[in-house]
Structures are given as structure tokens and as C-alpha cells.
Chain A
């Protein structure tokens, strides 16, 4: 089980959290301006890296806030955990 550090509450067991997938995916400002391929890229295509991955988690059974975790997808070691910067672009 992962030990995840919530930036607001501290380190808790993985069972308190829900996974939110790849971080930094922004909904396009004007979807109608996109081609089908670009829309598909936003909806479905993922980095899915073997190695460091920036991902979203929510402390579902705690403060219920979303935050960003950097984790190695092979060793599962978490290298950082921080708040989302509100208002600013989170695009990687």
C-alpha cells in the first residue's frame, strides 16, 4: 500500500485517497476549433510513462482536496507531493 503525503493533512494510507490520473491535462478553451484528432488527444491519449509520472490524487476520506504527486511508476516511490496552484496553468 502506498503512503501518500497529503499537502494539507500529512502522510496517510493509500486507502484514504482516490486516484485522478495524469496531471496537467487542460480542457481546450475552444473545443469546436479542434480537429477530431486533437480532441481525441485531449480526451484519450495519455503519457503513461514507465518512470516518473505527475498525477492527481484526492484525499477523498480526509480534506477532500485535489493535489499533485510525482511518483515513479516502476518503484512506486513518491518523490514529491504539492498543492495545485489555483488560477495558474497546471500544464506540464
Chain B
């Protein structure tokens, strides 16, 4: 891998940028790997990277049915935070946030991680009580969090409507200053380039159609580019987890729903923080390019179609306009949907399965992007050691049998 630096920028500028090499190879699949990762999104690429970097397992392939980062990695609203209520969840997301903080240097790739602060608004007395409770819980876990008043919010974000003469007045918020946004494509590309440099094969346009097993042990995968044998298989396919589960005879506690988002035309900088609201249910930030990036809740029905219903977007826009009346005249540029796999407790599954050598990382629901590095880091540990790290041990598939759920529905600072 050629290191990116000021020197390489200058050198390539002098040769009219004709000599940049490809950021990663596109090898043909080998017949066998130590580990095959199914799914070339941020989580899968991060898993491969940390397998190679932390555990020395470099004979790894990442199989992607489309192009890397073309699924939910490229469809989310790029928000990064770790202010979850329950200890298990907040420690997992905080591990991820710590990795974010050094990620650009670690990968030698600018993921444009911008810690601009995340506000979670409260609109009534119960909201504010929940916020105080969550902020206190976060602090006990060593995570930065504070309660701010409506006046402080108004000072920081002048465009927001803090009038008391509205249906859902803003009474205050929790603020995580270390939270922010990152450029989602760059995360996929950065992990891909760094993993490739450590010897990982990234194989795009290669759809997994079957998971081969022999006497309770995984032996490889069937793909549209032939059979690939593997000692271990890690599945991290976001919305399609149940489809892959079916291939291995696993029943999963997951339902896949469409989640829509949209961006506006680019504008001058008007919003330099991330604003999220439960009660009116929307979240918004402004990208470095100037687009308002807007998202909200899932469509109610199961859907694999990467699109949802119009009234869901309408609700989202109502929420955004309630918070920022002046955005009513902003034109929207693009709208899209992704498939999110929702777990009953709104927490992910990073786990071994009943099949030896087969591991699942799924169920991130509406909030997987923020966890990209931490998800890969813990999943790599789980695959390499054949046992979970203490950070992801509570996120075992068996919690649905034992009852040790981590109920982040509604608790996790945003409604799902």
C-alpha cells in the first residue's frame, strides 16, 4: 500500500495525478480461505481488517454481492455517538467511538470524522427525566454526557425553534460533545484499502447462495463465482441476515424493515451539530458538502425492497420543520431506503451459532453505522478466538433464550 501523505499528494500533483494506484486489488477468489466474511459493508471490511491486524489472520476473503459500501454503509445518516442507556450497550458503542477517534490515522485514510456534538432533545418532563437518567448512566460508564437547557441549545444552534408556543416545545437536551458524523463511503474505502494491504482479498460481485456444512461444522460457502471453502465463516450482511440464516438452518429473532433517509440541496453552513429528537422523531445534520442529511423511523412492515412508503418521509419532514421552521423552503435532492434488521431488544447480535465455525453479526437495526469499527473489532475477536470478547459477550444469540435482553428500545436516546 502506498501511504497517503502530503508528500504523496505533491508528488502525484507534479505528475498530473496520473500515477495513483488502485486503493485495493480485485483478485479472483481462491479455492480456500481461513476465514470468509460474507458482506462487504463497513462492518465486514472492519472485521477483516481487525482479523488481519489484531489477530494475524490474513488468509481472509470478504465476499460482497454488489459493490463494497453499497448497502447500509452508504445509506445511513452517518451519525456517531455512544450515549446508550444500558452498560452493555454503552460500553460496546464507546469502544467503537474510541476507535473512531484514531481511525483516520490508523487506516491512513481520511474518514472525515467530525466530533461536532450530538444533541438529543427533550420535549416534556418525562423526556427530561429520561435524559437526566441516561446522562448519569453514561457518566458512570466514563462516557461524556451533559444535560443542557433550551437556552444553551439556542445559543449553539441559533436556527432551532425553542419557542414555548408550539406543540412539542424544546425543554432541553442531552449533549455528547464527542459524538458527531463521519463520511460513510470513506469508512468502507478506508477499511477496504487497509485490509487489502494486510493481504485480505476483497471480492465484489460475488453473492453467497449457500452455506456448506458437514456434521455440524461449516466448510465453506457456495457463491455465484463457485464454491469457496473456509475454516470459519463470519456473516455480517445487515438487512439480509435472515436470508443467510436460512441457508444455515438458523432461526433468527430478526425482522427486516425499510429505513428511509433523504438529503437536501447543498447550502452554506447553517447547522454545525447533530440534532435528534424522540418526540417529534427526526434527526438532522449538515454534511461538509452542505446538504442537510435527514432521517427518522422505519416503515412498519417487513420489506427487502430498499424503499418505503411516502407517509413515512412526510412524518420525518414534519418533525424537521417543527424543529427548524426555516428549512420548510429547502428543496430535497435525493431520497432512498435501506434494509435494517431489527432485533426485539434493539441491540445487535455478535455471536457464535449452533454451527461450529459459523458466526453471525447482525441485528444492528437503525444504528449500525456508529458501531462500524467496534463491531468489526469485537467480531474479529469472536471469530479468531472462537469466543466473544467481554464487550460483545452480552450480545450472544442465546440471550433470547436466557432472557438477558438489553432493552435499548426507546432507551437508546432515539426511538426506533
Contact = CB atoms under 8 A, between A and B. Distances in A.
A pairs with B = yes
Interface string B288-308: 000000000000111111000
B240 A50 contact: yes
A55 B252 contact: no
A48 interface: yes
Interface of A is mostly: mixed
Contacts of A40: 253, 400-401
Contacts of A36: 401-403
A15 B240 CA distance: 27
Interface in A37-79: 37, 39-41, 43-50, 53, 55, 71, 73-76
Contacts of A1: 309-311
Contact of A48 (B252, B300, B401): B252
B400 A14 contact: no
B309 A2 contact: yes
B242 A46 contact: yes
Nearest to B312: A1
Given A40-B400, A44-B253, A48-B255, A55 B302 contact: yes
Nearest to A1: B309
A19 B312 CA distance: 14
A18 interface: yes
Given A1-B309, A75-B305, A19 B344 contact: no
Contacts of A19: 300-301
Contact of A73 (B303, B309, B344): B303
Interface in A1-57: 1-2, 14-15, 18-19, 21, 36-37, 39-41, 43-50, 53, 55
Interface in B217-276: 240, 242-243, 251-256
A48 B256 contact: yes
A48 B309 contact: no
Given A1-B309, A37-B401, A43-B400, A21 B255 contact: yes
Task: Select the residue from B240, B304, B305 with max chain A CB neighbours within 10 A.
Answer: B304
Contacts of B251: 41, 45-46
Given A1-B311, A36-B401, A36-B402, A44 B302 contact: no
Nearest to A76: B305
Contacts of A2: 301, 309
Interface of A: 1-2, 14-15, 18-19, 21, 36-37, 39-41, 43-50, 53, 55, 71, 73-76
20 contacts: A1-B311, A14-B311, A21-B255, A21-B302, A36-B402, A36-B403, A43-B344, A44-B253, A44-B400, A46-B242, A46-B255, A48-B252, A48-B254, A48-B255, A48-B256, A50-B242, A50-B256, A55-B301, A55-B302, A75-B305
Interface of B: 240, 242-243, 251-256, 300-305, 309-311, 344, 400-403
Given A21-B255, A45-B251, A74-B303, 19 more contacts: A1-B310, A2-B309, A14-B311, A19-B300, A19-B301, A36-B403, A40-B400, A41-B251, A43-B344, A44-B344, A45-B252, A46-B242, A48-B242, A48-B252, A48-B255, A48-B302, A50-B243, A55-B302, A73-B303
